A = this chain, B = another copy of it.
Amino acid sequence: MNVADQYFPTIFELSEPEKSGYQLPDLDVPVHELTELIPSPLLRTKPLPLPELTEPEVVRHYTGLSRRNHAVDVGFYPLGSCTMKYNPKVNEDIASLPGFASVHPYQPEETVQGMLQLIHSLEQMLCEISGLQACTLQPAAGAHGELTGLFIIQAYHKDRGEGNERTQIIVPDSAHGTNPASAAMCGYEVVEVPSDDRGGIDVAALRQLVGPKTAGLMLTNPNTLGLFDENTQVIADVVHEAGGLLYYDGANANAILGISRPGDMGFDIVHFNLHKTFSTPHGGGGPGSGPICVSDDLEKFLPVPRTICTETDYRLKYDYPKSIGKVKNYYGNIGVAVRAYAYILSMGPEGLRRVSETAVLNANYVLARLKGAFSVPFDRFCKHEFVLSGKKQAALGARTIDMAKRMLDYGVHAPTIYFPLVVEEALMVEPTETESKRTLDQFSEIMLQIAKEAEENPELLQNAPHTTVVRRLDETKAARKPDVRYSGRKSDG
């Protein structure tokens, strides 16, 4: 009998009629029958079938669930492309100050001057970091930033009278899935450009692809292989000469803070993932925040409202006739922005540079330690992350998924796997700068141990994980017979 073996009941199974974890004071105004206020056909007839629990039960349920999670505060989380860095505690405290957390977006501007100042300052700081000229915090995440950027690209071409011709967005084959998905969502045709043997864009192929249909190119730089594209300048020139715009997916900005700026590389639009580079927590999947910065030329297309600083105060301004409009309710995920603002202030210019230097140092160190045991698709220094191929081990019967699951037994999270698609059996490792050498060494040793296990006992890996609260889960079954809401069956999965 193992605690780990115990079924962890759903909240629905803990329900008991009559219970509640909440109480209201007696209603102190004269009461009408609800049907006097709202015609009964509009009213609910059946009782709402929510679970009924008291506060102690709810607290124990969610506390118990939380302990069934890995997290940055619990252990190493080298998930490539996700920048799982430490989330400073003071930023959480700041974001929960009532003056930030309990403020309504429609309050009169004079009652939210601190908030507007913060937004305006953060926008300016992001401009400085990106090397671009104007910023909006409205997009809710990276993918949303991409979409917003693409709307702007559309608006730009339309404004120049080329709206109908420029129908293609070029995306490298190593790109994150959101890039082509955003382009498609925006009605663009997605044109894929292959990688060259240095892991960058194949410039010759790119030259073939650009033309009057080219609306723009989306690039992550360093790209998802963790490599800075050595031809960035050429690529920018080729696209610009063809009349396209350059979009910078800033998911990997943790490699370049204070070192190189997308604007200086030639990009026209940049999104940042505040929930990666700027240390805001991922929340188990969100919320994120994906502000975008654009060049002077594109400023007029930014979503409204914009936050402006007049001589006397801060204001929200809607009057931008060429704006693409709104992409989100209200003004964006401001609570996330507050944390990023605090982070930038706590790091300062030197600190941010040290972030990137250390992120890159850490990644190269782990790469150097693992090189011998795993296949390395591109033999270059990486930036803040690197991609290994598990093909050697796969040939022995231990696929990347098996190695990933085995890592869980050792108490670390697995790297991102099977991405980017251009690398066979990919393992994408991003240590971040907030990990100590000690942790990097431990991780390296675990990886080397697993490589050894793959040689000596691949079944051990195929059957991993062995020590987690559940063992390897049947994803095929989950997808084939989807059970996506609890329907009263106890524990038969």
Interface residues, chain A, with chain B CB atoms under 8 Å away: 1-4, 6, 14, 16, 54-57, 59-60, 63-64, 67, 73-75, 86, 88-89, 409-411, 434-438, 466-467
Whole-angstrom CA separation of A63 from B69 in the bound complex: 12
Whole-angstrom CA separation of A75 from B64 in the bound complex: 8
**Smallest beta-carbon distance A139→chain B, Å:** 28
Q: Is the CB of B60 within 8 A of A3?
A: no
A89 partner, pick from B3, B14, B59, B410, beta carbons under 8 A: B59
Whole-angstrom CA separation of A64 from B4 in the bound complex: 17
Of all A-B residue pairs in the complex, the 8 with the closest CB atoms, nearest first, are: A56-B86, A3-B411, A63-B73, A2-B467, A56-B434, A3-B467, A59-B73, A1-B409
Q: Contacts A60-B74, A67-B74 known; list 5 others, CB within 8 Å.
A: A1-B410, A3-B411, A16-B436, A54-B436, A63-B74
Residue of B nearest to A23 (CB): B346
Q: In the complex, which residues of chain B have a beta carbon less than 8 angstroms from the beta carbon of A437?
A: 16
Q: In the complex, which residues of chain B have a beta carbon less than 8 angstroms from the beta carbon of A57?
A: 436
Whole-angstrom CA separation of A67 from B75 in the bound complex: 12
Whole-angstrom CA separation of A62 from B241 in the bound complex: 56
Whole-angstrom CA separation of A465 from B434 in the bound complex: 37
**Smallest beta-carbon distance A90→chain B, Å:** 9
Show 11 residue pairs from A and B whose CB-CB distance is below 8 angstroms, ordered by the A residue: A1-B410, A2-B466, A6-B411, A14-B436, A55-B88, A55-B89, A56-B86, A57-B436, A63-B74, A67-B67, A67-B74
Whole-angstrom CA separation of A89 from B2 in the bound complex: 30
Q: In the complex, which residues of chain B have a beta carbon less than 8 angstroms from the beta carbon of A55?
A: 86, 88-89
Q: In the complex, which residues of chain B have a beta carbon less than 8 angstroms from the beta carbon of A86?
A: 55-56, 59
Whole-angstrom CA separation of A86 from B438 in the bound complex: 39
Q: In the complex, which residues of chain B have a beta carbon less than 8 angstroms from the beta carbon of A435?
A: 56
**Smallest beta-carbon distance A191→chain B, Å:** 42
Whole-angstrom CA separation of A60 from B411 in the bound complex: 13
Q: In the complex, which residues of chain B have a beta carbon less than 8 angstroms from the beta carbon of A67?
A: 67, 74
Whole-angstrom CA separation of A67 from B73 in the bound complex: 11
